[in-house]
Structure 1
């Protein structure tokens, strides 16, 4: 069984299902209850994913043994920096080497867009994500943006 990561439009059925699963997972953890379909719809409305396509970004879908299992986006913030966003692996596929491969693919996508540094923000309660970023060379940096669900910021030179 192998992982394959490839660029994919955010509106394909697989990309949409993964984005919905991502939002349901992070919102549900924040609210400490499952997110409803209506809440997921509301959270995804106007979320700017249309920018996750060249020349401003890229969206990757990861498949494990052909099944859609992971996703992530890269968004150019300026000529030097690309932000990683919507980094997600379905729970059933965790522990199979996909998270590191996804980060590598996103970093390659950022380089292809001309970025020399990647940055991201996350929440303190997303401990698995924070551990993943630290394992792959991301270090805490000062806040480069603000928002209600942003508690810690990371960066990495490419």
Structure 2
């Protein structure tokens, strides 16, 4: 990941918006039922800003190739959202780097655990979560696109 940089920036930044748009497009193509963000669990950009959240953009050689967000839904718990990596850069460990950076940010916020949800069609994401120590847990939200829920206790 020597040519990859990770930066916290506003979710409204041009690169953040571009990554989220590409994330939505990919989910729309991959999910059997399509993907309409207005039907997903609601999010507000303010949830992804310090001090109670963060939005990270990953850049490879200066080009935005991934993103991930963290919010604090409970006093001791963070939730990771919008984790996405450009398909052309998958396999370069950028997703792992983003996930680790979001976990570090959660620790810095004094959180003791992080959660995330996923869809069964996102096999690459599911493999990443499992290899990074996430365990399946019971449903913790009403997102209609979520089919699996995970949690990791932060050391």
TM-score with structure 2 setting the length? 0.89
| Cα 1:32–1:147 shift into 2, 3 Å | closer
For structure 2, the residue ranges without an aligned partner over 5 or more in a row are none
The alpha carbon displacement at 1:56 in A equals 2.5
For structure 1, the residue ranges without an aligned partner over 5 or more in a row are none
Structure ranking higher in helix proportion: 1
Asked whether the 8 Å contact 1:84–1:106 carries over to 2, the reply is yes
Q: Note if 1:141 corresponds to 2:137.
A: yes
**Local SS of the residue matching 1:92:** helix
In structure 2, the residue matched to 1:102 is 98
Q: Note if 1:155 corresponds to 2:137.
A: no
The alpha carbon displacement at 1:105 in A equals 0.6
Partners of 1:62 and 1:135 in 2: how far apart? Answer: 20
RMSD after superposition? 2.0
In structure 2, the residue matched to 1:116 is 112
- State the 4+ residue runs in structure 1 displaced beyond 6 angstroms: none
In structure 2, the residue matched to 1:83 is 79
Partners of 2:110 and 2:29 in 1: how far apart? Answer: 35
In structure 1, the residue matched to 2:8 is 7
